[in-house]
Amino acid sequence: MIDQKASRDVGEATHLGPELSRRNLLTGAAAFTAALGLPIPFAGDLPAGFIPVALAQDVGTLAVAKPGLTLLGDRPVNMETPPHLLDDALTPNNRFFVRNNGQPPIGVDTSDDAWTLRIDGEVERALELTITELKSRFATVELDLVVECGGNGRAFHQPAASGNQWTFGAVGCARWTGVRLRDVLQAAGLRDTAVHTGHYGADTHLSGDPDRDAISRGVPIEKALEEHSIIAWAMNGEPMPELNGHPLRLIIPGWPGSCSQKWLNRIWVRDQVHDGEKMLGTAYRMPAYPVAPGTRVPNEDMITINSMPIKSLITFPETGARVNAGEPMMIRGSAWSGDVAVESMEISIDFGASWQAVEMPAARNRYAWRRWQAQLTIPERGYYEVWARATDQNGTSQPATTPGWNPKGYLNNMQHRVAVFVL
């Protein structure tokens, strides 16, 4: 009989993740066939050490501020979206993941005339602008932009990396309304000494200490001046949810979501690389060279993450889907990348032994994810997995398993896969 937990899966497909060490799973195609209750037509292509995704699920959801999302922690609040709830061209506000470092501001007037943003530092004239002034002084833009946590996929690193144990759902693509960051910086008059930004928000440190920042990251001035880097006040045509940064936030697309400061109230233009909270040590930083799993890496050998890697998701069907042999089955998903654009998308149903290209229309604008789809007809009864693999314009494709172990488990872009039972 098929494990009931597997049949309740909400799409969190996994490879050999940390939870597997707690299970007494049988190995071998024959044992898997017995456990699944169906034959495995491509059993000869099973990779070494393989565990069927249908037997490797351990997902729970809590109905909280965003029903259906998986709550990873409540202090601070962090929630991820099961892949099957990302089956929209634009991620609905109530399904957009939440990554917080501190506590959202409480008892603060967030109206357009009350909230202010200060631009200071290496500028000719410091500015203090309300949201009303941002709307009236600068051209408004609407852009479809992906935001993804740098730790998305952390749960699958071995040995385990510290931090929120994101699987695949710390990502979303929304239509953001705001003004270009470069227009505001240029209005302040950037000096020749301007090399980096430092971002600040109104969220409070978990300790409650008003003199400590929950997070304060920044980006090189060249990234800040890109036309797709914006200061946003609306999300999918509505005020953004409080947990996603209402009333004002940055969107720095293609880079870790931590660069996209929420509850934004200050941008400090600096003459050096910003050294705010979560800019030093191991925070959003990777070893400058490959390291063996479990290696202790000196802080001086760590470099800051910038562009995110190529990635994709299967958003339909979800793991556990049942279809009849010989009947057409639709497969859908999304692909996205950092500064290097997505080039192509492929799927496999024989455990990666062969791949077929899928239809993937162009995105509305750069840094939006690209939706893709394909129709499959599987003639033979059995257990199958659909694997997804995207490739960027440099020819870099997603790996089958977790790449490049690092102390904080960043930049895991392994292939997503879902289980399908063909009856």
Looking at the structure, do residues 218 and 280 belong to the same domain, yes or no?
yes
Residue 87, domain member (yes or no) = no
Looking at the structure, do residues 272 and 229 belong to the same domain, yes or no?
yes
Residue 76, domain member (yes or no) = no
Strands (DSSP E) contained in 162-239 are 171-180, 196-201, 230-235, 238-239
Tens-place pLDDT, residues 332-345: 999 999 999 999 99
Range of the domain at 179: 93-304
List, in sequence order, every residue forming a beta bridge with 392; answer none if it has no partner.
342
| Cα angle for residues 66, 68, 72 (degrees, 5° grid) | 75
pLDDT at 59 over 80: no
Report the pLDDT averaged over residues 248-259.
98
Taking the C-alpha atoms of residue 416 and residue 389, their distance in angstroms, rounded to an integer, is: 8
Looking at the structure, do residues 284 and 333 belong to the same domain, yes or no?
no
Taking the C-alpha atoms of residue 184 and residue 85, their distance in angstroms, rounded to an integer, is: 35
Looking at the structure, do residues 262 and 400 belong to the same domain, yes or no?
no
Looking at the structure, do residues 300 and 318 belong to the same domain, yes or no?
no
pLDDT score for 74: 86
- From residue 99, give the alpha-carbon distance in Å to each of 80, 167, 274, 422: 8, 13, 21, 37
Report the pLDDT averaged over residues 86-112.
96
pTM score over 0.85: yes
Domain harbouring 253, CATH code:
3.90.420.10
All residues at 6 or more sequence positions from 34 whose CB lies less than 8 Å from its CB, including other chains: 26
Looking at the structure, do residues 155 and 295 belong to the same domain, yes or no?
yes
pLDDT score for 32: 67
Query: What share of the chain in percent tops pLDDT 90?
Result: 82
Taking the C-alpha atoms of residue 375 and residue 222, their distance in angstroms, rounded to an integer, is: 42
pLDDT score for 362: 96
282 token code pair? 């191991």
Longest distance between any two alpha carbons in the chain, whole Å: 72
Domain harbouring 30, CATH code:
2.60.40.650
Taking the C-alpha atoms of residue 82 and residue 95, their distance in angstroms, rounded to an integer, is: 9
Taking the C-alpha atoms of residue 260 and residue 176, their distance in angstroms, rounded to an integer, is: 12
* Average pLDDT of the chain to the nearest whole number: 90
pLDDT score for 43: 81
Looking at the structure, do residues 214 and 333 belong to the same domain, yes or no?
no
pLDDT score for 6: 33
Looking at the structure, do residues 25 and 147 belong to the same domain, yes or no?
no
Taking the C-alpha atoms of residue 251 and residue 164, their distance in angstroms, rounded to an integer, is: 21
pLDDT band at residue 17 under the 50/70/90 scheme: very low
Taking the C-alpha atoms of residue 290 and residue 297, their distance in angstroms, rounded to an integer, is: 10
pLDDT at 264 over 60: yes
Report the pLDDT averaged over residues 236-240.
96
| Cα angle for residues 414, 337, 144 (degrees, 5° grid) | 130
DSSP H helical ranges for 148-245: 181-188, 221-224
Q: Are 310 and 398 in contact (CB under 8 A)?
A: yes
Taking the C-alpha atoms of residue 421 and residue 1, their distance in angstroms, rounded to an integer, is: 13
Residue 128, domain member (yes or no) = yes
Tens-place pLDDT, residues 177-233: 999 999 999 999 999 999 999 999 999 999 999 999 999 999 999 999 999 999 999
Tens-place pLDDT, residues 131-166: 999 999 999 999 999 999 999 999 999 999 989 999
DSSP H helical ranges for 26-101: 29-36
The total number of structural domains in the chain stands at 2
Looking at the structure, do residues 272 and 325 belong to the same domain, yes or no?
no
Number of residues assigned to the chain:
423
The CB-side HSE value for 60 (13 A sphere, CA atoms) comes to 5
Q: For strand 370-377 and strand 356-357, is the pairing parallel, antiparallel, or unpaired?
A: unpaired
pLDDT score for 34: 66
421 token code pair? 């039972």
Residue 210: CB atoms within 10 A of its CB come to 8
Looking at the structure, do residues 228 and 162 belong to the same domain, yes or no?
yes
Residue 291, domain member (yes or no) = yes
Tell me 416's DSSP state. P
Query: What share of the chain in percent tops pLDDT 70?
Result: 88
pLDDT score for 31: 65
341 token code pair? 């654009």
Looking at the structure, do residues 382 and 329 belong to the same domain, yes or no?
yes
pLDDT score for 49: 59
pLDDT at 325 over 90: yes
Residue 282, domain member (yes or no) = yes
pLDDT at 110 over 50: yes
Looking at the structure, do residues 274 and 389 belong to the same domain, yes or no?
no
Least confident span in 39-48, 165-174, 227-236, 257-266 = 39-48
pLDDT score for 42: 86
Taking the C-alpha atoms of residue 54 and residue 381, their distance in angstroms, rounded to an integer, is: 16
Residue carrying structure tokens 């003459």: 271
Residue 178, domain member (yes or no) = yes
Q: Are 264 and 233 in contact (CB under 8 A)?
A: no
Tell me 134's DSSP state. H
pLDDT score for 194: 98
